[in-house]
A and B are shown apart, each in its own frame.
Chain A
Amino acid sequence: MTPKKLQKAFLILLLAFLFLTPVFSLLCMGKTEAEVQYYEQRNPASLPMPAVSTLLDGSFFTDFEAAVSDRLATRTAAIKGYFSINMALGRPAVDDSIVNAEVMLGKNSYNRWDNSNLYTQAEEIAADYASLKDYVEERGGYFCYVGVPLQTFYYTDLYPDYMENREWHLTTLRDAFATAMEGADVPFVEMNEIFRSREWEEKLYPETDHHYTYFGAYVTAQAIAERITADTQWQVTIPGRDELDWQELPNPFLGSSNRKLYGLWDSTDRTAIAKPKQEIPFRRFDNGTEVAAELFDLPATETEDVTYTLYMGGDVAETSIRTEREELPDILVVGDSFTNSLETLLYMGFDEMRSLDYRHYNGLPLREYIAQYQPDIVICVRDESTYFSREWNGRTD
């Protein structure tokens, strides 16, 4: 090919790419949108409608750009390529995840801030929960707050020495919150302390997901049961390890951090499930409707990726698991996805276990729900990063 012809071919190729990409994008828009939802764990930017104000300030075109970008047929391939190149170059962090470490960790900024107001903030939040505790107790119930570390908070010692692990902040945060909860007389199960109290036979946190492992959830369920038993007249028992059938799934586990990275980080993560050896029959209701009595959304094959939605099938606004054992207490669990794996274990110790996730549940406010349902036990499960949030599952009204 002569240089002239080569140049022409080059231009035609570029033009074809520029012209055909929008056409293909229109044809496979649904697929691209689904990929954005799955991997980036967000909804694609919606196509904006022109309005006088947005046309005047130019935001219509900016929003349109974002919407087009989220629907380009080339998007997934481009991002995968970009991440692969960045990882191959040995960059410490890709897409705000530290990939150059034993486990995938969240990248923190190097900024520092004044920690001193954490104690005041913690007292304010603890006062809210003290009020909620009183409300539950007035109705004959027991309230307990469970704090769990995020994976990146748990693995602070695995950060490379030149990366910021925020240990300086976490130490104060934990102390402020525990002190405030103790001061407000709110029963508080601090899982960070329990997790670090001894060597565990299995990993408590995976390499690539911000939640605890199934074993971490099991330790948490045990800790909750022990605390309830210690503080109340109820004898709550979660079966011991030997009383459960543990099964490690052979499927690769696509943790939330690795999912953002399109599964490119080479992980050895596997997930586990456990069922009581002595069967505990139950019925399951999601948002008031009876559904199949399943706790795990098991993959169809042994090779496909599994995500944390394995547990309870992912987030559900309101779930109820009824074991019809009236001698046992009823429990209401409020929390986000950390409760999904917990629920598959916790139900074993209760007559009915209900869980609410206020990120999805739009029904009654918490106090009204408690007043109507009259649970024997109410627990709030919060990760440490949300201690001071009064939004969603942080609402106590």
Chain B
Amino acid sequence: MPRNGGWKRMTFSSVLFLHVFFVGLLVCYFAPFVRRRETKNLVLLLFSLAFYACGGLAYFPLILLSIGINYLFGRLVGSCDDGKRKKRLLTVAVTLNLLMLFCFKYLGFLTENLHLLIPTLPVLEIVLPIGISFYTFQGLSYVVDVYRGDARSEKSLVRVALYIALFPQLVAGPIVRYTTVAHEIGERSESWDEAYAGTVCFLLGFAKKILLANPLGQMADSAFSQSGDLLTTGLAWLGAIAYTGQIYFDFSGYSDMAIGLGRIFGFHFLENFSYPYISRSVTEFWRRWHISLSSWFRDYVYIPLGGNRGNRAFQIRNLAIVWMLTGIWHGAEWTFIFWGVYYALLLIGERYCWGKTLEKCPAVLRHGYALVLVIFGWVIFRAPTLTAAWDYAAAMLGLSSAPFWCGQASYLLRQYWVELLFGVLFSMPLLPRVKERIAEKGGGLFRAAGAATPVVLLFLAGLSYISLLSSGFNPFIYFQF
């Protein structure tokens, strides 16, 4: 069984979520007798735990354990005045969190590789509990922030539990810092305006996921399932481009849905993506991609390691460590480790070797440079093995024996041209720019745009909904992390 294949889950883009879970939550949360903030928090917590439990009760105790550990150590660290003891407590908390992550995410991989060296050693088949990488990192950030004095130790177990288990970001992020929502857990306000803004965000994410990520995913799967003479150069490029679109619209769509849902209930999560594919360097790409993860590693690993201080070798070491960890955070596979190394090399290269030359190049070249490297990065990320990644990249570079073009590539272009076109358009910040222009002009145009927005949204929502009911293909890539 694949390590991430053993669980089921409820997704935001499912009829069960939309018509049963969400409706039930709205009724309970906004019921007239649920007025006190603590009661609302309790309702939200119970629904969040139920949301997690829908993925299977087998690993449900694990999230409770995570909540328990982080609450307890948050209290202990927060109430400790002795610096050394405080540090020891933090070390224990970090160790316990990472141990849990290690056991469920990496132990199977470790035994699999040890088994190759020592065949008598057994291979452990451990199913990855859904969302463990996300809630472990959230729990860690809480205890560390309390240790650093950036956050107050929370007395209420419900509040800590709600922070860790809050369903919008529970299983696929964004990784929300405790300091971002600590205040809102205790004091927040729900309103029609917030609900509207949240709904807009949710529906845009929903449309990204259903209308763009899913079809592009089918296109990518179709190409990545080919090999040998059937994987032509054209098909390989189409598949890689489709996957580049799929992973962005899938993950950013999910993040938008999470942010939107949070906003409906009065939470303001930070943006997780900022049009990464318009970057002009790999360094810029990582400032725009999965911002919550890269900033987590920056604040909790890179800076504590010494960051940009020290000599060049020291900085390179720090970068290498962080990117190895970033790679392996995504999954216990050699492809992810190699993917991390690939980015470490590129980032080190940009910082110390060709970064200055790159800055002098025309913008179009820089865009092309970043995009091509990112696309090759996704090939490593998507391929099941390093050999498969190499073969796929070789086909893209025309180094395989396959011809340049094939019928399948023609079919994919004809079948998915709409998604490719809109995928390219919506990878660029067109909407914000249009909004800006309209706002600048003001007057009638602004009012008309305001009136048209709900209509456009209804159209998008309707289109997404009918696609959801009609297509069985609805995976979420980042659920596997």
Contact = CB atoms under 8 A, between A and B. Distances in A.
Interface of A: 1, 3-4, 6-11, 13-15, 18-19, 21-22, 55-59, 61-62, 64-65, 68-69, 72, 74-75, 77-79, 81-83, 85, 89-93, 100, 110-112, 161-164
Given A65-B16, A81-B466, A82-B467, A162 B410 contact: yes
B407 A58 contact: no
Given A14-B461, A57-B56, 9 more contacts: A18-B22, A22-B19, A57-B58, A58-B7, A58-B9, A58-B57, A65-B14, A68-B16, A162-B411
A79 B469 CA distance: 7
Contacts of B33: none
B383 interface: no
Contact of B469 (A7, A78, A164): A78
A299 B19 CA distance: 39
A6 B407 CA distance: 49
23 contacts: A10-B196, A13-B458, A14-B199, A18-B18, A18-B19, A19-B23, A22-B20, A57-B6, A57-B7, A58-B58, A61-B10, A64-B16, A65-B10, A65-B16, A78-B465, A79-B470, A89-B418, A91-B414, A92-B415, A110-B226, A111-B230, A112-B230, A162-B407
Contacts of A13: 458
Contacts of A92: 411, 414-415
B15 interface: yes
A93 B416 CA distance: 10
Contacts of A78: 465-466, 469-470
B23 A164 contact: no
Interface stretch (B37-45, B146-154, B393-401, B449-457): B449-457
Contacts of A18: 18-19, 22-23
A13 B414 CA distance: 36
B447 A3 contact: yes
B461 to A, nearest CB: 7
A73 to B, nearest CB: 10
B54 interface: yes
B315 interface: no
- The SS class assigned to the A binding surface is helix
Contact of A61 (B8, B19, B451, B454): B8
A59 B414 contact: no
B15 A61 contact: no
A164 B19 contact: no
Nearest to A92: B414
B54 A61 contact: yes
A173 to B, nearest CB: 20
Contacts of B192: 4, 7-8, 11
Interface size classification for chain B: 35 or more
B225 interface: yes
A4 B193 CA distance: 8
For the complex of A and B, 7 pairs with smallest distance between CB atoms: A58-B56, A58-B8, A82-B470, A10-B454, A162-B410, A162-B407, A78-B466
A135 to B, nearest CB: 44
B300 to A, nearest CB: 31
Given A7-B454, A11-B192, A68 B226 contact: no
A83 B222 CA distance: 21
B458 A10 contact: yes
B118 to A, nearest CB: 32
B19 A58 contact: no
Contact of B407 (A9, A15, A112, A161): A161
B26 interface: yes
B10 A6 contact: no
Given A11-B196, A72-B469, A6 B15 contact: no
B57 A163 contact: no
Contacts of B6: 57
A111 B469 contact: no
B471 interface: yes
Residue of B193, B195, B410, B470 ringed by the most chain A CB atoms within 10 A: B470
B408 interface: yes
A75 B469 CA distance: 7
B302 to A, nearest CB: 36
B55 interface: yes
A87 to B, nearest CB: 12
B195 A82 contact: no
Contacts of A112: 230
Interface string B183-194: 000000000110
Contacts of A55: 56-57
Contacts of B7: 57-58
A15 B450 CA distance: 20
B454 A6 contact: yes
B231 to A, nearest CB: 10
B209 to A, nearest CB: 16
Contacts of B22: 18
Nearest to A62: B8
Contacts of A11: 192, 195-196, 199
Nearest to A82: B470
A74 B469 contact: yes
